[in-house]
Structure 1
């Protein structure tokens, strides 16, 4: 019994010794890690945070405002009939036509019959004119020999004049009928695309009835209803930014209205959008100048650090960061104008500044390249 108790006591002592050894090893490991961590933390401030920097620049900018706009065609007209008749043929929707190309055809048979009747009347009256001219010549000869009365010559002369005028009037009617026949063939007044069709083959068409809509798809404008206040800052030919389907393009100002709306206090501005692959009727957004050009300090957009209560940039001087609060203004591509304690050619952090604090040391990867683009 005593031997069993002694063995248990020996085993318990060994367990205690092992536990003490494990605790001592853990403490030593912790101490080593703290030493290495201390060295790492001591080295990090000396090395500094790795950042990328660019230079601030000063340029003249035009403060702008973004406005909704629509793409429209300069030539967009309903093509109507100028004669009465049955519609024999009409161009299909979506057809691209050239100026002078046939768009629709009306039945012209009744006009051709009318033309034949009028031409016969002209020939009849022309024969009367020829006869009276012969009579006038004979009476003139007899009158010279005193063989006929002067009154007969005057009567024939009068009848000849009336006959000539009748031929002239009938000839005008013939020209009108020829024009009417020509108008039964409706042709395109300008090159464009058939966007709508209002009549179908077989319908009886009256004068003035719209047949189809023709839209010029090459000569386009961007129409903007702009505030009257910005009118003094517009220049003909000035290029402005247009946002369309996640794309930014530049278009010139072509013209603008010299009168505004009293209700909306806006006036129409048009940009030239010739030969662009934009469908008329598309919605776009346009940036128009709202103030006179002025000098501004520009920083890259990536240099801005946005926080809930402030916006700032981090400048770098002698490998040390400095926080500068700024007010953000107009954006120009990848640059943005700011107001703050900045000057041209100052270096600002564009990468690695999210966790950088005011006064911390920084280091660069490679040589500093001034990004003046």
Structure 2
């Protein structure tokens, strides 16, 4: 029995060694495969894949998109030129008016009385001049027959000239007061739309007021001309040489998606603003249909003509 157990004891260490080797192989081999796969994947990702494209000549016309604000072609603050009480007004905000149309009427009875007095003074001056003129003519006739002295005849002629000057002064005073009376009717300076009315019936208005923007003291009405609108844009210095009156341009607005509003380049300042390095350009828009409103935001599309087109590449090539 002792002889048979001894070989078994000798095989036991070999069995343990074999089992350890198997376990080691089972644990290492998958790791080796994972490491190899990771290395292969890393090498594949490290290779940059690109698409090759050949540059081509850029189009001769490039579109420049700039923001713009719509402004009226003309606007004015209307003030009173005659002091008095507002009798009535004829137009309210949003009213389309024509040039010369009466907007309101002012009552100024004291001014009317002054005009009547001035006309009476003019009539008196006219009568005095006519009498002096007739007298001077008579004395000139008598001077021919030596019936009167030369000095007396000259005195009558001088009196006539003085009466003539007094008549001219009276006529000028009448014209001045008549002009002030005509300002009792406030009229529109041009065709447009009333955008502000700052006075009501019975209000006391004074001549003059403070000129300036809408809302300042003394302004009665504010009017804007919207048949033709102006849009000002600031063109960058690099594109400024290509913006001229023949340059094609159209507008787009958010409230009219897909619509192109025809416009034209009217004029430019002809100089670069040193603070922003841009060229101020004015664009006129025919707005007879009233599609655009002054003060609205719009986008300006300028069609720039290039005499030396560059090469054209996809945007993705510049990443």
Q: Same fold (TM over 0.5)?
A: yes
- Taking the aligned partners of 1:179 and 1:212, their CA distance within structure 2 comes to 21
Please tell me whether the aligned partners of residues 243 and 286 of structure 1 are also in contact (alpha carbons under 8 angstroms). Answer: yes
Aligned counterpart, 2:122: 122
CA contact (8 A) 2:60 2:305 kept: no
Q: TM-score with structure 1 length normalisation? A: 0.61
Equivalent residue, structure 2, for 1:166: 166
Q: What is the root-mean-square deviation of aligned Cα atoms in Å?
A: 2.6
Whether the aligned pair in 2 keeps the contact of 1:241 and 1:248 (CA below 8 Å) is no
Q: Is 1:88–1:107's contact at 8 Å kept on the other side of the alignment?
A: yes
Q: Does the CA contact (< 8 Å) of 1:60 and 1:293 recur in 2?
A: no
User: CA separation of 1:128/1:67 partners in 2, compared to 1, >3 Å: closer, same or farther?
Assistant: same
Match of 1:228? 237
- Tell me which residue corresponds to 2:63: 64
Q: Deviations over 1:12-38 (max 9, x none)?
A: xxxxxxxxxxxxxxxxxxxxxxxxxxx
Q: State how far apart, in whole Å, the 2-side matches of 1:182 and 1:153 are.
A: 43
- Closer, same or farther in 2 for the Cα pair 1:141/1:253, shift >3 Å? closer
Match of 1:327 in 2: 314
Q: Is the 8 A contact 2:247 2:304 kept in 1?
A: no
Distance 1:58 1:89 in 2: 68
Q: Unaligned 5+ residue runs, structure 1?
A: 1-56, 299-325, 330-337, 340-373
What SS does the aligned partner of 1:100 have? coil
Residue 299 (structure 2) aligns with: 285
Normalised to the residue count of structure 2, the TM-score between the two structures is 0.70
Distance in structure 1 (CA, Å) of the matches to 2:143 and 2:311? 105
- Using the TM superposition, give the Cα deviation of residue 296 of structure 1 relative to its aligned residue in structure 2, in angstroms: 8.2
User: SS of the counterpart of 1:200?
Assistant: coil
The 2-side partners of 1:241 and 1:147 are apart by 89
Match in the other structure for 1:199: 199
Correspondence 1:121-270 to 2 at 5 A: 121-209=121-209, 210-245=219-254, 246-249=257-260, 250-270=262-282
Query: 1:143–1:149: 8 Å Cα contact kept in structure 2?
Result: yes
**Which residue of structure 2 lines up, in the alignment, with residue 53 of structure 1?**
none
1:93 Cα deviation after fit: 0.8
Report the count of equivalent residues.
248
- Equivalent residues of 2:271, 2:279 under 8 A apart: yes
Match of 1:21 in 2: none
CA contact (8 A) 1:260 1:266 kept: yes
Note closer, same or farther for the CA distance 1:125–1:146 as it changes in structure 2 (3 Å cut): same
Unaligned runs of 5+ in 2: 1-55, 210-218
Is 270-279 or 151-160 further displaced after alignment?
A: 270-279
SS in 1 for 2:159: helix
Cross-structure match for 1:89: 88
SS of the residue corresponding to residue 86 of structure 2 reads: strand
CA contact (8 A) 1:61 1:293 kept: yes
Maintained 8 Å contact 2:240/2:278: no
